[in-house]
């Protein structure tokens, strides 16, 4: 699909949103087949609501809500997503559970000049409303119950003008004057606009995703090519050393032939050259006898000759690997259209990229389930795992946690449990989640009860366990510190969220 002529690096304007909402009203009365939180382009939060319109029973309409700056929109879509892009966690699970088999009652934009709208559903559990804010770099979606309280949300809001957490009654931010460029920008999508909106933004999303994938593969191929090239050079040097086996034997022969003339502790010896032409000075180790040094040279010559066949095979395999990497790297750097799937498959076959993991089928447990660790849920809906003892701390940090998960431990060298916050791909922890995890790190440590305590944190990939360290002892790097104050309400909320079953 070619890129649009008007790149329009902005999400839907308020006027364009009004056009889209007006057309989407035709879906009012549709039944919800599924409601899914997605990880959109560049890690942004998206929503996908699968509807069965009243007038077209048996057919599916996919309603896509995209958050995040220049890609913010709502429209029906022809695009489909795999299970690996579904966001997991308490919030997305609540969204799916509460909207399953609900009826879409209304789609409304509060004001014509607002980039905000709501979807009202009549669900089996009561009235549910999804409020979506398209403005801001990250946007926001909030699932509210019949009282207007926030049941689930894409993120916690903490700004100078508004705070919004789970359990709070939803309140819109104070109005701000529209940006001049947005106010003056002419509408880009004429009615009927939904298909044009979907085509325009899907094209931009796919192009950005392709650029990101291409950059990732280029980096992997370049690093691997350099590594394999060094391996080939090293193996070639080993083969050159094999040619020195005869030279080493000749040197050992001369050392044994003239050993009787060498004084103990000598640093060199003079021998007649093997061809009888002139003399040769050989260096010696004064701490070892001449026969001992000659036998060492014989052993080295035998090792070189014995390893030749293995070295030849390894060199042939490394040379072939380097050839494939050079072809793949050249393919990725070519200005023409690149077959990313072929390049990715080559890197996977060479063991340079992990094999795609099969996602669990519906009803199956994911890796986060049935864990032996304490499990809690942050205000943003992220799972927080806490080790129960030193052995569990090792397992939790070194085997269970992913590289980009957040790792925390009480500071000051005090004993305490390891704490891991499992984060979705491309996500970072907000201050609210950091304080939640820090509160648990303090609670499950020897610092429990102190009014204020420092907690260190870093990404799991920055935590090492050198050999010889006892269970539970690790070496973190690139750490930062957050000061955690005792908050009874926060601690109570976290302890109430405890789950030992999933």
What is the domain partition of the chain in residue ranges? 14-192, 194-358, 374-496
Mean local confidence (pLDDT), 46-69 = 91
> Taking Cα atoms as reference points, which of 461, 374, 454, 474 lies closest to residue 410?
454
> Taking Cα atoms as reference points, which of 233, 479, 217, 402 lies closest to residue 328?
217
In this structure, of 64-73, 201-210, 272-281, 343-352, the range with the lowest mean pLDDT score is 343-352
Which residues make Cβ contacts (< 8 Å) with residue 411, sequence separation at least 6?
Answer: 453, 454, 455, 456, 481
What was the pLDDT predicted at 363?
39
State CA 289 to chain mean position distance: 59
> Taking Cα atoms as reference points, which of 67, 95, 106 lies closest to residue 166?
95
Which residues make Cβ contacts (< 8 Å) with residue 130, sequence separation at least 6?
Answer: 47, 95, 99, 118, 119, 121, 141, 142, 143, 144
CATH code 2.40.10.220 for 14-192: no
Give the integer Cα–Cα distance in Å for 141 and 152: 8
Give the integer Cα–Cα distance in Å for 48 and 36: 5
Whether omega before 383 lies within 30 degrees of 0, making that bond cis, reads no
Helix %, strand %, coil % of the chain (to 5): 40, 20, 40
> Are the CB atoms for 137 and 45 separated by under 8 Å?
no
Question: pTM here?
Answer: 0.58
Which residues make Cβ contacts (< 8 Å) with residue 45, sequence separation at least 6?
Answer: 37, 38, 39, 67, 68, 87, 138, 139, 141, 154, 155
What digits encode the pLDDT tens for the residues 377-407?
888 888 999 999 998 999 999 999 999 999 9
> Are the CB atoms for 288 and 280 separated by under 8 Å?
no
What was the pLDDT predicted at 183?
52
Give the integer Cα–Cα distance in Å for 440 and 413: 17
Which has the higher per-residue pLDDT, 363 or 422?
422
Mean local confidence (pLDDT), 228-240 = 86
Mean local confidence (pLDDT), 88-113 = 88
State CA 259 to chain mean position distance: 65
Which residues make Cβ contacts (< 8 Å) with residue 327, sequence separation at least 6?
Answer: none
Mean local confidence (pLDDT), 207-235 = 84
Mean local confidence (pLDDT), 471-496 = 91
> Are the CB atoms for 353 and 221 separated by under 8 Å?
no
**E-assigned strands of 109-188?**
116-123, 126-133, 140-144, 150-153, 157-158, 163-164
Determine which helix (DSSP H) or strand (DSSP E) holds 230, and give its type and residue range. Answer: helix 194-242
Token pair in block for residue 281: 């000075």
Which has the higher per-residue pLDDT, 273 or 51?
51
In this structure, of 35-44, 138-147, 401-410, the range with the lowest mean pLDDT score is 35-44
> Taking Cα atoms as reference points, which of 465, 429, 457, 459 lies closest to residue 441?
457
In this structure, of 177-186, 252-261, 304-313, the range with the lowest mean pLDDT score is 177-186
Q: pLDDT band for position 4 (50/70/90)?
A: very low
Percentage of residues of the chain with pLDDT beyond 70 = 89
What digits encode the pLDDT tens for the residues 317-372?
889 888 888 887 777 776 555 567 777 777 777 666 655 554 444 434 344 444 68
- Phi and psi at 254, nearest 5°, equal -65, -40
Determine which helix (DSSP H) or strand (DSSP E) holds 20, and give its type and residue range. Answer: helix 14-24
In this structure, of 14-23, 131-140, 234-243, 390-399, the range with the lowest mean pLDDT score is 234-243
> Are the CB atoms for 153 and 145 separated by under 8 Å?
no
Is the confidence at residue 181, as pLDDT, over 60?
Answer: no
In this structure, of 87-91, 230-234, 247-251, the range with the lowest mean pLDDT score is 87-91
In this structure, of 202-206, 252-256, 271-275, the range with the lowest mean pLDDT score is 271-275
Distances 205 to 42, 66, 193, 213 between C-alpha atoms, Å: 9, 10, 18, 12
> Are the CB atoms for 220 and 347 separated by under 8 Å?
yes
In this structure, of 89-98, 258-267, 345-354, 475-484, the range with the lowest mean pLDDT score is 345-354
Average pLDDT, the chain: 85
Using DSSP, state whether 104 is helix, strand or coil. Answer: strand
Sheet of strand 406-410: strand arrangement: 374-377, 383-386, 419-421, 406-410, 452-459, 480-485
Determine which helix (DSSP H) or strand (DSSP E) holds 347, and give its type and residue range. Answer: helix 340-349
- CA triplet 459, 462, 463: central angle to 5 degrees? 100
């Amino acid at each position: 699909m070619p890129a649009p002529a008007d790149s329009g690096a902005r999400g839907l304007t308020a006027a364009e949103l009004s056009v889209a909402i007006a057309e989407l009203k035709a879906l009012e009365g549709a039944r919800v087949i599924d409601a899914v939180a997605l990880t959109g382009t560049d890690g942004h939060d998206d929503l996908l609501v699968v509807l069965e319109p009243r007038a077209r029973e048996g057919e599916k309409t996919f309603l896509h809500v995209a958050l995040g700056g220049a890609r913010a929109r709502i429209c029906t879509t022809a695009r489909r997503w795999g299970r690996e892009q579904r966001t997991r966690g308490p919030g997305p699970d609540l969204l799916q559970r509460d909207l399953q088999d609900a009826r879409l009652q209304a789609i409304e934009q509060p004001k014509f000049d607002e980039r905000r709208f709501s979807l009202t559903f009549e669900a089996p559990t009561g009235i549910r409303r999804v409020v979506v804010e398209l403005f801001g770099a990250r946007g926001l979606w909030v699932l509210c119950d019949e009282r207007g309280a926030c049941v689930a949300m894409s993120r916690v809001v903490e700004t100078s003008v508004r705070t919004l957490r789970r359990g709070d009654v939803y309140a819109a931010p104070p109005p701000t004057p529209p940006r001049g460029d947005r106010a003056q920008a002419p509408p880009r999508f004429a009615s009927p606009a939904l298909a044009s909106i979907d085509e325009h933004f899907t094209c931009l999303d796919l192009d950005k995703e392709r650029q990101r994938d291409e950059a990732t593969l280029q980096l992997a191929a370049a690093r691997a090519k350099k590594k394999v090239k060094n391996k080939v050079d090293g193996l070639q040097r080993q083969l050159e050393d094999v040619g020195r086996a005869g030279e080493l034997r000749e040197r050992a022969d001369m050392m044994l032939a003239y050993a009787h003339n060498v004084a103990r502790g000598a640093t060199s010896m003079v021998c007649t050259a093997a061809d009888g032409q002139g003399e040769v000075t050989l260096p010696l180790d004064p701490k070892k006898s001449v026969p001992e040094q000659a036998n060492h040279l014989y052993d080295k010559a035998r090792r070189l000759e014995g390893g030749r066949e293995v070295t030849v095979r390894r060199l042939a395999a490394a040379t072939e690997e380097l050839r494939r990497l050079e072809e793949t790297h050249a393919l990725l750097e070519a200005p023409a259209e690149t077959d990313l799937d072929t390049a990715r498959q080559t890197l996977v076959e060479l063991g340079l990229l992990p094999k795609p993991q099969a996602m669990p089928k519906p009803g199956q447990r994911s890796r986060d389930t049935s864990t032996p660790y304490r499990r809690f849920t942050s205000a943003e809906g992220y799972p927080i795992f806490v080790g129960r003892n030193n052995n569990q701390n090792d397992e939790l940090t070194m085997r269970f946690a992913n590289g980009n998960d957040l790792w925390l431990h009480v500071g000051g060298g005090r004993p305490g449990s390891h704490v891991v916050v499992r984060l979705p791909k491309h996500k970072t922890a907000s201050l609210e989640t950091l304080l939640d995890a820090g509160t648990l790190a303090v609670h499950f440590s020897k610092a429990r009860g102190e009014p204020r305590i420092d907690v260190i944190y870093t990404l799991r990939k920055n935590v090492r366990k050198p050999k010889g360290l006892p269970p539970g002892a690790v070496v973190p790097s690139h750490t930062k510190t957050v000061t955690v104050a005792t908050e009874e309400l926060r601690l109570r909320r976290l302890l109430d969220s405890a789950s030992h079953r999933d």
